[in-house]
Structure 1
Amino acid sequence: MKKRILPGLAVVGLATLLTACGFQLRGTGETRLTVNELNLTARDAYGQTVKDVRDMLEDAHVRITSGAPYTLDLGGEAQSERTASYTSGARSAEVELTTRQPYTIIGKNQAVLVSDYLETQRYYVTDQNNIVGSEQQKDQLRREMRRELVQQLAARLQALTPERLDKLQRDADARAAAKAEADRRARESAPPQQSPIDIPTPAR
């Protein structure tokens, strides 16, 4: 059975984990990432998630510029919900909310260095007698989940030191060079294509 954590406890637990990793929540002290500059792109360039990520990077003293050697690209955010359980009277139900945010770190020559996703879940109880209140609760949870995803991303980025990124870039360059060499050899070993033979048309 999946262990369910109350939203408040989840935030406290995450804050403790991130602080242990060296990342501090906004407003609680100095926050720095090991990457000094990044380019930031997103499928939903004007969405709230990319705005929150931009704020997080700026708070962490990361310069956001299109000329940066590495690009953080946010894919399309996927939100889903499902009914987890029903009450005996079927007047209310426990609903599971899930948000998944894919992201990619792109290096030189458009090489994909990191491709991963962030995910978080919350539970809330719907009340058929208070639909408006249930919707407000869901909206509040979605906002909390977005903040948690941004905090998860900050922790992931903090682990990507310049040395780690350089190694990922070298590995990507080596794979690209190996593929180019394999393609070249395949072309050289392929049998030459014969030119079509022109068959003269009999004179009438």
Structure 2
Amino acid sequence: MLPNNPRQFIGCLMVGFSLVLSGCGFHLRGTGVDNVELDELQLSARNSYGQLYRDIRQALIVDGVEITDTAPFQLQLLDEKENKTAVTYTSRATPAEFELETSLTFQISDNSDRRLVGPVTLTTQRIFVNDADNLTGTSEEEELLRKEMHEDLTRQLLFRLSSLSESELSARGQALDRQNP
């Protein structure tokens, strides 16, 4: 039996749609990672003024990690690379599509500069169409994709960090102590 009032029908339709979405496991897009268990970290990078460094720093702070110089563990952003490669060409031998690739290499060490994790390299890629008739739009699309790629690398890094705890990092340090008495 269908409701007579259009408002009732739309209301029932919305409730049904909500139930279907919640039943299939749909959820709003977020970081997709658990919280980082580390209370505090030192954070260093070769380019401490770069956008990726700022994004990672902000994400850690939002996740409740205190960034301090006295923390027992240091997250080192060792290397950040960005590449742009032509992947297809037009009949006039001009690039039709470009592949963007951004990678981040990081490691975690203790106060004695002993490597506990890594170095690990995270990578993300995107392909975009080169519109020779719209250079402004193409450059804006490239800039937007680079920002999206930084967000992706930040999520990947937080995902890696969410699997670590201070006790696990301490245990790795103790294992190194036992290997090198």
TM normalised by structure 1 equals 0.69
Identical residues among aligned pairs (%): 33
Following TM superposition, by how much is the alpha carbon of 1:58 offset from its aligned partner in structure 2, in angstroms?
0.7
Higher relative contact order at CA 8 Å, sep ≥6: structure 1 or structure 2?
2
* AA aligned opposite 2:105: P
Larger Rg: 1
* AA aligned opposite 1:168: R
Does 2:122 match 1:84? no
Within 2, Cα distance between the matches of 1:73 and 1:93?
Answer: 37
Does 2:45 match 1:58? no
Matching residue of 2:151 = 147
RMSD: 2.0
TM normalised by structure 2 equals 0.77
Does 2:136 match 1:132? yes
Matching residue of 1:27 = none
Following TM superposition, by how much is the alpha carbon of 1:108 offset from its aligned partner in structure 2, in angstroms?
3.2
Following TM superposition, by how much is the alpha carbon of 1:175 offset from its aligned partner in structure 2, in angstroms?
3.5
Match of 2:120 among 116, 131, 134: 116
* AA aligned opposite 2:160: R
Aligned to 1:99, the other structure's residue is in SS state strand
Following TM superposition, by how much is the alpha carbon of 1:176 offset from its aligned partner in structure 2, in angstroms?
3.4
Match of 1:158 among 136, 150, 162: 162
CA contact (8 A) 1:42 1:75 kept: yes
Where in structure 2 are there 5+ consecutive unaligned residues?
Answer: 1-25
* AA aligned opposite 1:155: F
Deviation per CA, 1:4-24, whole angstroms, max 9, x where unpaired? Answer: xxxxxxxx9xx58x63xx43x
CA contact (8 A) 1:108 1:169 kept: no
Following TM superposition, by how much is the alpha carbon of 1:145 offset from its aligned partner in structure 2, in angstroms?
0.2
CA contact (8 A) 1:92 1:127 kept: no
Within 2, Cα distance between the matches of 1:81 and 1:175?
Answer: 43
> Structure 1 or 2: larger strand share?
2
Where in structure 1 are there 5+ consecutive unaligned residues?
Answer: 1-11, 24-31, 178-204
Matching residue of 1:42 = 45
CA contact (8 A) 1:126 1:134 kept: yes
Ranges of 4+ aligned residues in structure 1 off by more than 6 Å? none
